[in-house]
Chains A and B, each alone.
Chain A
Amino acid sequence: MNTLLRFAFFACCVALAFPMLLRAGERRFTYVYDTEVQPVGAREIEVWNTYRTGRTDFYRRIDNRLELEFGVTQGLASSIYLNNTVRTAQVGNNLVSSQSMSISSEWKYQILNPVVDPIGFGLYGEITLGTSETELEGKLLLDKRFDKLLVAVNAVYEQEWESEIEDGKVESESETKTELNAGIAYFITNNFTVGAEARIHSVIEDGKTEHSALFAGPAISYSTEGWWATLTLMPQLASFKEKTDGSLDLKEYEKMQARLIFAFHI
């Protein structure tokens, strides 16, 4: 946590030391990505906060990500992240808290622009390194602007390797996750959007879908010259595999997720 705070302090110092040089791309969704990238030379600090709650047994989790994003070349942007996760779960008659940290590197390349071209198209890659896990994530990004409307669709593939102890030996377990995400945002003004986003998240083990659920909820965003913020509420609407509470799977997934991203240009 100290590292995260130090990084945040450093980011704030940088932001205060330099006046805003360039206006960068705001996000209208927190789970769904559009294809817009930071222009060359633009830099941005994004603070991510995701809160998850509501499983069969007591479960609360907060994910914080601190991102430094910058434009590399025309159409290409990159980011580095510091990730911190704190969770408290019920184990028997006890509440057990745990914390994990990791770092990530993200690369996003816009091939077609959603305003200039008939459809926006981009590629996204991310690698995450933790002390006990490694993740590789790839996304296909599609989006389109219809005057006041922005529509975005993502196909996500993620491979995760995690070290676990089995019979006293450390073994590596792999897991595949896929997502189909979609979002729609209406520009009430150039600065303010209201919309919705949805995602179907699936976990695949040994070639078989073990878990799959649909999440959807409202998203609002506001931006100014120097900063922007986007908030999404994402309740679980249905499970396509195991059901533990009506139509929901509250063993693998939470009943409610909420994500707030606050960003400022530096």
Chain B
Amino acid sequence: MTLRQLLAVTGILGCMYILVSCATALPIPTRVHAEWAAQRWPETDTTALQHGRDLYIRKCSGCHNLYTPTSYTEQEWVKEVAAMQKKAKITDEQREIILRYLITAAAVPPEQAQLQAAH
């Protein structure tokens, strides 16, 4: 196999891997996320977390590239979202919903969320 063929095969396999691995870097809330969140905030379910994800995308992507939930610790997220609240016109209630989603998504490993959600 020539170097060119080797590169072509590597490239194709790489692209296929990228396309096939469908998990997003911003996890879509599953039952596993909801169970984890409910331990801290009893009224939180999958719908509430999904609402937090939607709000995070809508309110934050207008001003900067979105960060993955694991980019910051819980304390840092609390500080960052509070700092951006006024500029992004986020209400106190919306801030809490966004934070719950980000903290939960960062806490639950993606493999665990996907595997357990599939069962």
Q: Report A234-246 CB contacts with B as 1/0, cut-off 8 Å.
A: 0000101000000
Would you call A251 an interface residue if the criterion is a C-beta within 8 Å of the partner chain's C-beta atoms? no
Assess whether A190 is in contact with B71, with CB atoms less than 8 Å apart: yes
A115 at interface, CB cutoff 8 A: yes
Q: Are B64 and A24 in contact (CB under 8 A)?
A: yes
Q: By the criterion CB–CB under 8 Å, are A153 and B15 in contact?
A: yes
A229 at the B interface (CB under 8 A)? no
Q: Which of A24, A118, A153, A214 has the most CB of B within 10 A?
A: A118
Which one, A39, A182, A238, contacts B3 given CB within 8 A? A238
User: CB of A113 within 8 A of chain B?
Assistant: yes
Given contacts A151-B18, A190-B71, contact A115 B7 (CB under 8 A): no
Name A107-152 residues within 8 Å CB distance of B: 113-119, 142, 144-148, 151
Does more than half of chain A's interface fall in helix, strand or loop, or is it mixed?
A: loop
Min CB–CB distance A71 → chain B (angstroms)? 9
B68 and A23: CB pair below 8 A? Answer: no
With contacts A118-B24, A142-B18 known, is A113 near B62, CB below 8 A? no
Residues of B within 8 A of A182 (CB): 11, 14
Q: Cβ of A23 and Cβ of B25 under 8 Å apart?
A: no
Q: Residue of A at shortest CB range from B76?
A: A190
Given contacts A190-B67, A240-B4, contact A153 B62 (CB under 8 A): no
CB atoms of A147 and B18 under 8 A apart: no
Contact A116 B64 (CB under 8 A): no
Asked if A22 contacts B64 (CB within 8 A), the reply is: yes
- Taking residues whose C-beta sits less than 8 angstroms from the other chain, chain A's interface range is 20 to 34
How many angstroms from the CA of A42 to the CA of B24 in the assembled complex?
Answer: 26
A113: contacting residue among B3, B66, B71, CB under 8 A: B66
Assuming A115-B24, A238-B3, is B68 touching A153 (CB within 8 A)?
Answer: no
- A240→B4 CA distance, assembly (Å): 7
Known: A115-B25, A147-B25, A200-B7. A25 touches B65 (CB 8 A): yes
In angstroms, Cα B66 to Cα A25, docked, is 9
**Shortest distance in angstroms between B14's beta carbon and chain A's nearest beta carbon?**
7
Q: Which residues of A contact B1 (CB under 8 A)?
A: none
Give bound CA distance, A151 to B25, whole Å. 12
Q: How far is the CA of A238 from the CA of B2 in the complex (A)?
A: 12
Kindly state whether residue B94 has any CB partner on chain A within 8 Å.
no
Bound CA–CA A18/B57 (angstroms): 27
Query: Known contacts A115-B24, A116-B26, A151-B18: does B62 contact A39 (CB below 8 Å)?
Result: yes
Contact B68 A145, beta carbon cutoff 8 Å: yes
B23 touches A39 (CB 8 A): no
- Decide: A119 and B61 in contact? CB cutoff 8 A: no
Are the C-beta atoms of A23 and B63 separated by less than 8 Å?
A: yes
Chain A residues within CB distance 8 Å of chain B = 22-26, 36, 39-40, 42, 74, 113-119, 142, 144-148, 151, 153, 180, 182, 187, 190, 200, 214, 238, 240
* A113-B66, A144-B21, A147-B25 known, 4 other contacts, Cβ within 8 Å: A39-B62, A147-B110, A148-B70, A190-B71
